[in-house]
Structure 1
Amino acid sequence: MTRYGKIDPGKLVVTVLMGAISLFFLIPLFWMASAAFKYEKDVMVFPIQWIPKAWNAVGNFKAVWMADIPFYTFYWNSIKIAVIVTLATVVFSSMAAFSFTKLNFRGRDLMFGVLLTFMIIPEQATLIPRFMFIRWLGLYNTHEALIVTMMFSIYFTFLMRQFMLGIHTDFLEAAKIDGAGYLRIYWQIILPLCKPILATVGIIKFIWTWNDYQHPLVFLLDKDLYPITLGIQLFKDDYADNYAVLMMASLSAIIPLVILFIVLQKQVIKGISLGGVKG
């Protein structure tokens, strides 16, 4: 709609086109949800039965959550790792961003520039050195290995720094006059003003950690320590011919992410848009 109340044909076409593209990308998700509630014999029926004629949701649910494979253990491991890693990333990245924007010390800009250069190094290129470092620390085959290797992020430090550049220094000067130290300024002034970007970093990091497959595969051996990503691989081995059970496991794995994004999607969009235009 234009400001005169008329429909803009160009924007209408773009909106319809983007809606169609979005629906196209959601088709695999719809198929997965549909297959999770079917009997195995109905999964590969063509044309696709988007609404199952015969429902087997209870049977597939029991096969996932009450079978010999401890799916609930994988779920708890993923929640534990994702929550700890997310909280640690938010704290360390926000403190680093605060230092690079509001503290004046010699070599600050040079240090930040050097830090940014590490963003161009592929993560896989440092996998072997990190593996050797974890073995040296004695953390191999523990959740602590995943937490240590994933809780620091140059990207999120950069994103938060861009956001904090838009916070006027008058707030800090006023706090200093009142006798506040840097820790109090960071905790009581900077963090409350950074809620959009904190929510964005938290959600994205949680999703990345929850979906991570590479790090658990490299640093974990015991199945009792597996997160949900490796747990689903065990289902694939035991239920290779039962797509209904596999789809129920996959659907169960993504439900927390879908709920999290639906509830906090406005904060994600706001934080990314604001963080991208600051500085």
Structure 2
Amino acid sequence: MPDILGELLFIFQRFNWLSALDLFLVTMVFFGILMLLRDTQALVLLRGILLLIVSLSLVTSLIDLPAFSWLIRTALPTLVLAIPVIFAPEIRRGLERLGRAGSAQGWLWRAPSTTEAVQRTIRAVVSACARLSARQHGALIVFQRGDSLEEYARTGVTLNAEVTAELLLQIFYPNTPLHDGAVIIANQRIVAAACVMPLSSSGILNHSPERQMGLRHRAALGTSEATDAVAVVVSEETGAISVAHGGRIIRRLDAERLENILMAFYQPPIQTSRSLLDLIRAARQPTPTRPKKED
């Protein structure tokens, strides 16, 4: 114990602003790693690994165990090499987020935010979701943004049709050939239906108080994790409407809030970096009404 106190005193005597900067950078690296692994199953694994490393370090520093210390020193480099393999999906997802942050914005931002085509597309989707919710017909509608969804569109049936509420109702009518899978919308057109989307690898849905969320919600969340798309889900069990974006899912939306959220994604480029929660707050603002035409 006196040796440890002496070493700590020696460290504090040599502490300067460069040491503070060094500690700050290391802290930011660990903070970034924890943010990338937030709400994932890998966070539990990382917590166990850190606890194991700290425990072994304390044991080898406080007790003189030469053979055990040699084993730990030999095994730690192997563990460092194994970490990238264990956390490969999370590392890839984090790098993809960094790449998307510096890339050009997608079709939602290239199109003028006030075009009638955009508004018609959103209103058609909202109308369809409201009617599907009332009938408890399940649906998954994905809006393409900057990341191309062509690889997922190839897994479905190509339509290239205009977005209408009636067509969406027909696609998601139970027991029809296209009702399973997702509808992909890009450039105000239904590109394909019955598409297979990636399932979520995070633990958000597992920790949800409502465990009845099925494959549609997992596919919506997985799509938002793998791409920058916006996914709208209608639950077949409860009729609840949800929106997934950026690895987050917001549930129990009504038609008005859904329309406000989707409209918020069409804001000018200066506002495109906002999170889904910011868009939810913006959606709570009342929607401006158009003046009625005089007879």
Same-fold status (TM-score > 0.5): no
Q: Which of 1 and 2 has greater Rg? A: 2
When you count helix as a share of all residues, which structure comes out higher?
A: 1
TM-score normalised to structure 2 length: 0.28
TM-score normalised to structure 1 length: 0.29
When you count strand as a share of all residues, which structure comes out higher?
A: 2
